[in-house]
Structure 1
Amino acid sequence: MDNNIEFQEPEEELFEHHRFEVPKGQAFLRIDKYLMQLIPNATRNKIQQAATNGDIYVNDVPVKSNYKVKPFDVVRVLLTHPPFENRIDPEDIPLDIVYEDADLLVINKPPGLVVHPGHGNYTGTLVNALAFHFDNLPLNSSERPGLVHRIDKNTSGLLVVAKTEAAMTHLAKQFEDKTSEREYIALVWGNVKEDEGTIVGNIARHVKDRMQMAVFPEGDQGKHAVTHYKVLERFGYVTLISCKLETGRTHQIRVHLKYIGHTLFNDERYGGDLILKGTTFTKYKQFIDNCFKTLPRQALHAKTLGFEHPTTKEFMSFDTEIPQDLKECIEKWRNYSKSNAAEEEES
């Protein structure tokens, strides 16, 4: 494989190296001193540097070295390199294979399935499933078998997997050159003003919360990112849109949409699991809670995928149905919107 062709955003991964739950009887103690007692061969200077870099989290929030731990705190150390050699254990996890031939396969990933090990998810991933169902898949530049690109754990939809070295090289080049085609369906908070538009803004890890990405419009940090969107349907407090990716950055759609004020519906990491638009009426809050229960994840689905076949050179396009949880949530909003419109007409 051409080592100059990179898997999409390998440098953005964070890996959990240490995890501790502070016991009930622990007295308040600076976190640097606390971790020195628990991490073999750790120096206070290294721990303080990790805290300065934003690598030490308490209850999922980055803390400084002078933070004092208290009973039941969950302390985690997250770093950009894996804590051990990448060993993939095959696991018999079923795959929804949309298409397969000698060169590649296209998978419809369900929500909740992590694509590859990381963030404490070292088993039960798509890569573990691929290792069980297929032998000798080629490795990408991040040593992950078969993966050409990825989608987030709680995003559903289409992924292409390479089965040969030649296919890996050819497909990865298309993603790098932006000749592949990807369309996502998203439900976002707010009434999107324009019927269509383009979001341009560099994306890099958030300066305060390394579990999030952020937009840097001045281009002084991060990587160039472009997302095109089009309104499909308006429901008043939320909007159904289509997003086409010109680039493929970590959390690109999620962070770009938040940047323009339209966070994904029920996107917990970016604040979409709160009521961002709407009324204060109790019935409305109950309606939103019901929507969240119906769709317990961010409202994002990778609906279509297109690329040139590495051997036949034919351009192939694939399309999937919107998954049931997202479909039901959209229908709830459609009915709610119609009901509101009818009430306004009567009044």
Structure 2
Amino acid sequence: MLAQLNRTAFGRASSILSTVCAIYPGIALAAVVGLAALFLSEHYGAPVMLLALLIGMVFNPLAEEAAVAPGIGFSSKALLRAGVALLGVRVSFSDIASLGVAGFSAIAGLLGGTILLGLLLSRRDWQSGVLTGGAVAICGASAALAISACLPKGKVLEQETLFTVVAVTALSTLAMIFYPVALAQLGFNEAQTAFVLGASIHDVAQVVGAGLTVSEETAELATLIKMVRVSLLPLVLCILVLAVSATGWKERTHRIPVPGFLIIFFVLALLANIGVLTEAMAEFAATVSKWLLILAISALGAKTSLRSLTTVGGSKLMRIGGLTLVLFGASALIAQLLPGLS
């Protein structure tokens, strides 16, 4: 009996070791790409996700090698889901409550309306619609990765995800530059400007950057509004999982169970808000999440050639751009109507 247990334990250890050896080269490649992207981002101010994606594409021929492919696949799937799960520590129930019913309803309405418009514009391609609509409505690249993790897997979905990440990151950077100028020309006050910036710019970093061009107070309020949008991500993911599970896909012969990473997301959000997780622990989890998402997007970039990405089509770029402009216009209109901002 003891000999059998020893053989079983040794066999499991050997299996784990062989798996680690198989995925190590691909993870190492993703890590090198991620470090390069982070270095360039810190020195030149470009979005790290976009840099990781573009640098990763350069290594596409290497990523297709048999020695590297398993680790690239692991990074683009398992590490992606782990990074999304750790995003739960960023959800703040107090931030949601501080806006009041009117402010929260306005943000939720903008978010839901943007996703619905994305679905309408996508016509029959509902996966592309919810992916682009959710990325624009919630938090750019992070939302695109999280939504993609909940959808049925496929090569087309990977290309759509990469294209969406590139588009929303580029548009978010342009918005950081031009939105504050446009709002100043329209005569918006600081509170109204903060609302529009937080409710319409895709990525958190660009929201902060745009707010700081006006004032620190504007940046703080804009970031608060932006984080409320981020806090709605788990609700969107739950609805998406339930919808896909209920309707199925292909020939309706499969079902998608509730993903484990989504459960962890909720648990971490709850623990962070009731005080079980200290601020230092939450900060550590957020940092790990950022690194895992950088590794995942580096691997996704390495899996996709630039030529295949161009096959996604200009119509999808127009859709993302149109959604971005509609969200900006609707946010500006609501900012003028909310009594607390005038």
TM (norm. structure 1) is 0.27
Higher relative contact order (CA 8 A, sep 6+): 2
Q: Which has the larger radius of gyration?
A: 1
TM-score, length-normalised on structure 2? 0.28
Relative to its length, the structure with more helix (as a share) is 2
